[in-house]
Amino acid sequence: MPLLLVEDDRELAHGLSSSLAQSDYVTDVVHDGLGAIDACKHTAYDLVILDLGLPDMDGLEVLRHLRKAGLVAPVLILTARLDLDDRVSGLDAGADDYLAKPFDLPELEARLRALLRRGAPIEARVQFSDIVFEPVTRQASVRGKDLGLTAAEASVLNLLLRRPGRVVSKSQFVEAIYDHADDKNPAMIEVFVSRLRRKLADAGSQTLIRALRGLGYRLEDASHA
């Protein structure tokens, strides 16, 4: 399975690609954002490892460009920036996981395996009320109008759509969106739900996200109320 490693530190990139090769990963290496964008135009990668500190573009800018261009593969970010705002920005841009530098190779490989397992199934289109959600592209629309969801908002909506009429707890959202304990912050779910509600309202959707105190959130069709 082909991986793309985007890392400007050539020594680190060489060491990582050599180590991954010993675990039977085929890894292409580029050292800047434009190289990453070009590589993804020509190869369908199963996973992208992306450093944020690139010489020509910010890593999150690269990630947004790749997602907009149709990249559906999971993306693991390598970064020293791990405060709450940076995590929110990364998830909104389309990141699937973070790994702080410096890191140990066994942890990197464990996260790669988890992301590859999670990204393997091809999910069918999901519909509820006036919402249509495409899990492969992470796009949602209301009566044909694209909602323009971020990756995190799409994950929240996907979980709600798969449990229509049932309560989804904050802990279930956290487990679905984050892979590792040090990344999990339930307060971020409120931010994503608030943004999602606003986008649904702006599109004139009949779908409501009902908050149930102490329990979580439930998707409801207001036209049937």
Q: How far apart are CA 138 and CA 123, in angstroms?
A: 10
Say if residue 7 is in the same domain as residue 90: yes
Nearest to 154 by CA among 134, 172, 178: 134
In this prediction, residue 218 has a pLDDT band, given cuts at 50, 70 and 90, of: very high
Residue 151 vs residue 5, higher pLDDT: 5
**Distance between CA atoms of residues 217 and 215, nearest Å:** 7
Q: Amino acid identity, residue 51?
A: D
Q: Say which DSSP state 26 is in.
A: E
- The per-residue pLDDT of the chain, averaged, comes to 87
Which pair of structure tokens corresponds to residue 70?
A: 């149709």
Phi, psi values for residue 96, rounded to 5°: -105, -25
Digit-coded pLDDT (tens) for 159-196: 898 888 889 888 888 877 765 544 567 788 999 999 99
Burial bucket for residue 221 (CB in 10 Å: 0-12, 13-18, 19+)? middle
Mean pLDDT of 213-217: 91
User: Are 206 and 98 in a shared domain?
Assistant: no
Tell me the C-alpha distance between 17 and 85, whole Å. 30
One domain for residues 18 and 63: yes
CA 151 to CA 156: how far, in whole Å?
A: 9
Cα–Cα dist 95/90, whole Å: 5
* pLDDT confidence tier of residue 32, bands split at 50, 70 and 90: very high
Contact (Cβ atoms closer than 8 angstroms) between residue 207 and residue 222: yes
Q: Residue 15: phi, psi to the nearest 5? A: -65, -40
Q: Which of 75, 93, 119 is the last residue of a domain?
A: 119
The pLDDT score that the predictor gives to residue 201 is: 96
Beta-strand pair 26-30/75-79: unpaired
Provide mean pLDDT across the span 194-206: 96
What's the structural domain count of the chain?
2
Of the candidates 119, 151, 184, which is a domain's last residue?
A: 119
Can you read off the two tokens belonging to residue 138? 């992470």
- Which domain covers residue 99, as residue numbers? 2-119
Domain boundary among 88, 119, 150: 119
CB 95 within 8 A of CB 67: no
- What pLDDT sits at residue 84? 67
pLDDT computed for residue 113 by the predictor: 92
Look up the CATH number of the domain holding residue 85: 3.40.50.2300
- Can you give the pLDDT at residue 148? 93
pLDDT tens profile 41-73: 888 888 999 999 899 999 999 999 998 888 888
Whether residue 98 sits in one domain with residue 6: yes
Tell whether 141 and 112 lie within a shared domain.
no
> Does residue 131 share a domain with residue 107?
no
- Triad 145, 149, 152: Cα angle to 5°: 155
Per-residue pLDDT at 159: 85
Say what percent of the chain tops pLDDT 90. Answer: 49
- Shared domain check, 181 and 141: yes
Alpha-carbon gap, residue 48 to 147, rounded angstroms = 25
- Same domain, yes or no: 69 and 99: yes
**147-160 average pLDDT score:** 89
Judgement on whether residues 31 and 15 belong to the same structural domain of the protein: yes
Of 58-62, 114-118, 147-151, the one with minimum mean pLDDT is 114-118
Judge if 165 and 186 occupy the same domain: yes
Average pLDDT, integer, range 8-18: 93
The string of DSSP codes covering 159-171 is HHHTSTTSEE-HH
The whole-model pTM stands at 0.58
Could you tell me if 184 and 166 lie in one domain? yes
- The one-letter amino acid at 150: T
The predicted pLDDT at position 122 comes to: 53
The reported pLDDT for the residue numbered 141 is: 96
Nearest by Cα to 45 from 68, 23, 25: 25
